[in-house]
């Protein structure tokens, strides 16, 4: 059982875990995690582009 907010209601919910004990995410949770990963990757890419520019390298060529 998992106590939390889901589908506009805070209730105890039956949730699933894998064999290693990791909580299996809902579709919305997976989408949010992917959005956060994409945002972090874009920030890292922006930082790397700036480092290349500081070295006189055009990252677009």
> Which structure tokens are listed for 47?
């930082």
What is the average pLDDT value for the chain, to the nearest integer?
A: 93
User: Which segment of 2-11, 16-25, 33-42 scores lowest on mean pLDDT?
Assistant: 2-11
Percent of the chain with pLDDT over 90: 74
pLDDT at 2: 84
Q: In DSSP terms, which residues pair with 4 in a beta bridge?
A: 11
With tokens 């290349």, the residue in question is 52
pLDDT at 4: 86
* 21: region left, alpha or beta (phi > 0 left; psi from -120 to 50 alpha): left
pLDDT at 20: 97
Beta strands in the chain (DSSP E): 2-6, 9-13
Q: How far apart are CA 46 and CA 55, in angstroms?
A: 14
């Amino acid at each position: 059982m998992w106590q939390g907010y889901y589908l506009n209601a805070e209730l105890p919910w039956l949730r699933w875990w894998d064999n290693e004990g990791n909580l299996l995410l809902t579709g919305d949770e997976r989408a949010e995690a992917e959005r956060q990963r994409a945002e972090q990757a874009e920030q890292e890419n922006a930082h790397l582009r700036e480092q290349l520019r500081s070295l006189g390298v055009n990252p677009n060529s």
